[in-house]
Amino acid sequence: MSEEATRTNVFEPDAAKAEAVRGALIPWFEENGRDLPWRRTRDPWRVLVSEVMLQQIQVARAVPFYESFVALFPTPRALSEAPLSEAIRAWGDLGRYRRVVSLHRTARLIVQEHGGEVPSDPEALLKLPGVGPYTAGAVACFAFERDAHFLDTNIRRVLHRLFFGAEVPEPKAKESQLLGLAEAMVPRGRAWGWGQSVMELGALRCKARKPLCAACPVGELCAARPTIAEALAGRPHAARATQGRGGPNRHHRGRVLAVLREAPPKGVALGELGRALREGFGEADLPWLRGVVESLVKDGLARVSPEEAWSADPPRATVRVSLP
């Protein structure tokens, strides 16, 4: 690492190793990559929808929702002209419901400010609601084949293991070093293949808890391979420790939206909604239900009426809850 890189916490990969990694990984992806619908297109809107959907959602679960959503809303204009309630219904029970609100706002901004065309510049993409550095870089790369770099969970884990070693019990690299490494690893003119291949390696081989090192195409180049099994064996089971945090509210939000998607446009009475969610629902449960509904209202996913009945304490069971 050069003196300048040390001062700026930027990691400069060994050029020969970097080229060897690219040379092994991209052909492996071409032979082994999954056939996914968003990989068959360079349509920026479809790529954007897929990237919004896929964050923290399993690929197999996302595919049918993606296909039905883009069939209904094949362009930003189509989504921008639809009521938000239709978008929420199309989103179904995929979860992460705030994303569909942001995507609906994004579609309208794309129409208003970009003539209905998804911008190719990552800086312009970052100005869209709900679009962060990863999504902006991924859309620029996968839709426009720009030499953009980005980090998601899979890429971060793969690069850390390849160049720094096991990421547990504590990461050895700073985020700035990983970002610099991600940028340095992008082969000019081949960003699409590289981005897809490194993400696919993390999904299929370099898994978080059970990496398949014996079947890894770059295993011989991996700094973590000699110690990865031992490091993971001592890894704390964080998922168990945090199990249930925020779970009930997220579960009931999803159930409320499931009821509202099937309800008529005027919605459903609060008491009826409560009985659909909890057996034996009564007046004493109204404050609990109010908290669930208010979280949806805050995120733009539901609305209540009339206001005077909703503002009562507790709110009246005759209040109607509907999609926005």
Those residues with Cβ within 8 angstroms of residue 183's Cβ, 6 or more apart along the chain or in another chain: 149
Assigned domain for 238 exists = no
Tokens of 156: 């971060």
Assigned domain for 288 exists = yes
Report the candidate in 130, 89, 140, 137 with the shortest Cα–Cα distance to residue 109. 130
- Whether residue 155 sits in one domain with residue 24: yes
Assigned domain for 72 exists = yes
Other beta carbons less than 10 A from residue 296's beta carbon: 23
Q: Answer yes or no: are the C-beta atoms of 96 and 106 closer than 8 Å.
A: no
- Whether residue 104 sits in one domain with residue 85: yes
- Whether residue 159 sits in one domain with residue 30: yes
List the pLDDT tens digit at each of the 324 positions of the chain.
Answer: 444 444 455 778 999 999 999 999 999 999 999 999 999 999 999 999 999 999 878 899 999 999 999 999 999 999 999 999 999 999 988 888 889 999 999 999 999 999 999 999 999 999 999 899 999 999 999 999 999 999 999 999 999 999 999 998 888 999 999 999 999 999 999 999 999 999 999 999 999 989 999 999 999 999 999 988 888 877 654 433 333 334 457 788 888 888 898 889 889 888 889 888 888 888 888 888 888 898 899 889 999 888 887 887 788 888 899 999
Other beta carbons less than 10 A from residue 29's beta carbon: 20
Number of folded domains that form the chain: 3
> What is residue 186's DSSP assignment?
P
Strands (E) in the chain, as ranges, are 268-269, 303-305, 320-322
Structure-token match 């942001």, residue found:
102
Q: Name the active-site residue from 4, 12, 30, 51.
A: 51
Structure-token match 């992806």, residue found:
29
- Whether residue 207 sits in one domain with residue 166: yes
- Whether residue 24 sits in one domain with residue 153: yes
Instruction: For residue 51, indicate whether it is catalytic.
Output: yes
Residue 287: give its domain's CATH number.
Answer: 1.10.10.10
Query: Which residue among 233, 262, 292 closes a domain?
Result: 233
Q: Answer yes or no: are the C-beta atoms of 296 and 243 closer than 8 Å.
A: no
- Whether residue 225 sits in one domain with residue 182: yes
- Distance in angstroms (rounded) separating the CA atoms of residues 69 and 276: 27
What pTM did the predictor assign?
Answer: 0.83
Those residues with Cβ within 8 angstroms of residue 289's Cβ, 6 or more apart along the chain or in another chain: 270, 273, 274, 277, 281
Sign of the four-CA dihedral 132, 136, 139, 145? negative
Domain that holds residue 75: 43-142
> What is residue 305's DSSP assignment?
E
Other beta carbons less than 10 A from residue 16's beta carbon: 8
- Distance in angstroms (rounded) separating the CA atoms of residues 158 and 203: 10
21: left (phi over 0), alpha (psi -120 to 50) or beta: alpha
